[in-house]
């Protein structure tokens, strides 16, 4: 297993990974929603605001984590949001996702990013340092349908303190159906 930062040219393979993985776990409709989200993020997010991390086996992506910049109007700290993330069905429960996130978070930390945020299963993401937060601590860019899934972590030695919002995410993420 190899972990790499993707700088482009793999959009079709990456989108297919998201479609297939979410179709397997959530059904065809969700597979298409997440496929379309991944395509929009990859195609429309400015390069400075996009970080794509891949787990590869024999050159084929078997895991992907897409991070996009999350801006806070009154806060100078650099923040990125993870959404979406997928590990191919055949590679799940083997540590691929956890190791991919460890690689990605270390890369973001080394880049000087202060905060990582995601909206997902707290039990899964807890393994790599994410903890539940409130919208008072980390203002969400859109209303949360499941506030218990709003999680974040400091990527610095300092504890996570409230970010001064409001927050703005990549335009492709401003879809209520993914919040």
Taking only the tens place, the pLDDT of each residue in 119-135 is: 999 999 999 999 999 99
pLDDT band at 177 (very low <50, low <70, confident <90, very high): confident
**Could you tell me how far CA 24 lies from the centroid of its own chain?**
20
Determine what percent of the chain is predicted with pLDDT higher than 90. Answer: 91
Determine what percent of the chain is predicted with pLDDT higher than 70. Answer: 99
Q: State pTM to two decimals.
A: 0.95
CATH number 3.30.70.1140 is the correct assignment for the domain at 2-173? no
- 111 pLDDT above the threshold of 80: yes
Looking at residue 155, the DSSP 8-state letter turns out to be S
In angstroms, the CA 17 to CA 68 distance is 18
77-80 long-range Cβ contacts below 8 angstroms, 24+ apart: 77/114, 77/115, 77/163, 78/112, 78/113, 78/114, 78/115, 79/113, 79/114, 79/115, 79/116, 79/117, 79/163, 79/167, 80/51, 80/108, 80/113, 80/115, 80/116, 80/117
Q: How many other CB atoms are found less than 10 A from the CB of residue 98?
A: 15
Average pLDDT over every residue of 137-162: 96
Question: Which residues lie across from 138 on neighbouring strands?
Answer: none
Question: What is the tens place of the pLDDT at every residue in 18-71?
Answer: 999 999 999 999 999 999 999 999 999 999 999 999 999 998 899 999 999 999
Confidence (pLDDT) at 151: 98
């Amino acid at each position: 297993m190899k972990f790499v930062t993707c700088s482009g040219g793999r959009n079709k393979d990456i989108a297919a990974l998201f479609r297939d993985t979410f179709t397997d776990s959530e059904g065809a409709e969700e597979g298409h929603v997440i496929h379309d989200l991944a395509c929009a993020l990859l195609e429309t997010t400015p390069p400075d605001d996009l970080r794509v991390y891949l787990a590869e086996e024999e050159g084929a992506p078997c895991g992907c984590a897409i991070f996009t910049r999350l801006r806070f109007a009154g806060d100078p700290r650099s923040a990125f949001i993870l959404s979406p993330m997928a590990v191919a069905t055949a590679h799940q429960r083997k540590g691929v996702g956890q190791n991919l996130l460890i690689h990605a978070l270390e890369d973001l930390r080394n880049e000087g990013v202060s905060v990582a945020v995601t909206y997902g299963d707290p039990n899964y993401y807890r393994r790599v340092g994410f903890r539940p937060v409130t919208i008072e601590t980390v203002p969400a860019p859109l209303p949360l349908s499941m506030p218990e899934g709003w999680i974040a972590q400091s990527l610095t030695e300092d504890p996570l303190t409230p970010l001064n919002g409001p927050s703005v995410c990549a335009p492709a993420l401003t879809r209520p159906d993914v919040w």
